[in-house]
Amino acid sequence: MAQYGDYQLEIYGAGLKGVLPRWPVDFAGLESAAAAALPDWILNYVAGGSGDERTQRGNAEAFGWWGIVPRMMRGAYERDLSTSFCGVDLPTPLFCAPVGVIGICSQDFHGDLAVARACARTGVPMVMSTLTNDPLEDVAEALGDTPGFFQLYTPKDRDVAVSLIQRAEKAGFRGLVVTLDTWVTGWRPRDLNTANFPQLRGHVLANYFSDPAFRALLTDAPEEDPRAAISLWSRMFGYSVGWDDLTWMREATDLPILLKGISHPEDARRAVELGVDGLYCSNHGGRQANGGLPALETLPDVVAAAGDVPVLFDSGVRSGADVAKALALGARAVGLGRPYAYALALGGEEGVVHHLRSVLAETDLVMAVDGYPTLADLRGPGSIRRLPQGVA
């Protein structure tokens, strides 16, 4: 039976013929190569975080504060990485987290489609951002049979919000991921120092410009008067979702609803009481608010408060070992963000496929070597332990 870890055998086998990997298999290599490949205005927007970026760094560093406890003599010859949440069965617990400027990270500015095609080839779900360079219907088509989820930045105009949600359901997306922490943009010095906000220049607004409810608010079509359309979008952006909004969202769609940005157990409990289908523990990769706890540190409390409701996770994930640790702490699925954006910048669709396979391979091999043949085993008691303070 083939296992995801066998990808390393492909790489070593190709090496015997003098063929080396076209792109790095590690995050540090991807980050360094992407820094040379991307224009500064895109690189800084993707790589940057809020404030002095301490929270962003802490997200990644927090994984070093935890360690999986190896179990021996368990014969984990075959590993089962399958998982499920919100009625969707998945071969692995990995997904591509929403990146609002992924469309401009590829050389042809159609990164959303390239990522969707890579997900279709690997079976890794894509959580597609509201902010794309191609309409959501085209992205859904490119995903094929691989599940996609639609992430919503809720606009102030209710009709536009409902239209986006219903378009996503009609297009075949399997869930609605409502982002809670981006009704206002965080303080981002890298972007502020260059006065760089891609959306105000008309990038990644295809879902709005193609939306009938949005277009109905314009005198002229977006393609005829893009400045007016951009201005309308900027006035519409910035709605702070409240608990009462779950009522009209439920009325608008039959899709499962997941709340993204949940980090406090009281918020998790309130969401569960109100009947949400899933929670998404994340601090937006450190892009929105500096000075907060690393997301990984909040994950165990959110999982405990969620009970049987599945918890997704992202923020600071850089490797397959990181994925395994987040799973051991209770995440049902784990999302990649900046890493796959860098892979896209370097190799387009093929680069993303390579990166996803690399992360899955390492996750699989960590489970094999440490003696955890299933995700249930990995989540079992005693599988992970926090290092003594100061060791990491």
Domain boundaries, the chain: 4-386
83 annotated to bind ligand: no
337 annotated to bind ligand: yes
- pLDDT at position 340 is 98
78 pLDDT tier (thresholds 50, 70, 90):
very high
User: pLDDT tens, 249-290?
Assistant: 999 999 999 999 999 999 999 999 999 999 999 999 999 999
The three-state secondary structure class of 181 is coil
Q: Are 104 and 196 in contact (CB under 8 A)?
A: no
**How far, in Å, CA of 98 to CA of 63, rounded?**
21
Q: Mutual orientation of helices 158-171 and 136-143 as an angle, nearest 10°?
A: 20
287 annotated to bind ligand: yes
User: pLDDT tens, 95-109?
Assistant: 999 999 999 999 999
- pLDDT at position 2 is 77
Q: How far is C-alpha 69 from the geometric centre of its chain's CA atoms?
A: 27
- pLDDT at position 391 is 56
At the second CATH level, the architecture of 4-386 is Alpha-Beta Barrel (3.20)
Residue 1 pLDDT more than 70? no
- Which of 60, 71, 104 is closest to 285 using CA atoms? 60
- pLDDT at position 162 is 98
Q: Amino acid identity of 124? A: V
Q: Which active-site residues does the annotation give?
A: 284
User: pLDDT tens, 218-242?
Assistant: 999 999 999 999 999 999 999 999 9
Q: Are 301 and 279 in contact (CB under 8 A)?
A: no
The per-residue pLDDT of the chain, averaged, comes to 97
Q: Are 215 and 209 in contact (CB under 8 A)?
A: yes
β-strand pairing of 88-90 with 148-152: unpaired
315 annotated to bind ligand: yes
Provide the 8-state DSSP code for 220: S
**How far, in Å, CA of 363 to CA of 76, rounded?**
13
Question: Mean per-residue pLDDT for 172-186?
Answer: 97
**How far, in Å, CA of 384 to CA of 333, rounded?**
17
Furthest-apart CA pair in the chain: how many Å?
Answer: 70
More confident position, 326 or 1? 326
Provide the 8-state DSSP code for 52: T
153 annotated to bind ligand: yes
User: pLDDT tens, 119-162?
Assistant: 999 999 999 999 999 999 999 999 999 999 999 999 999 999 99
Provide the 8-state DSSP code for 13: H
The three-state secondary structure class of 300 is helix
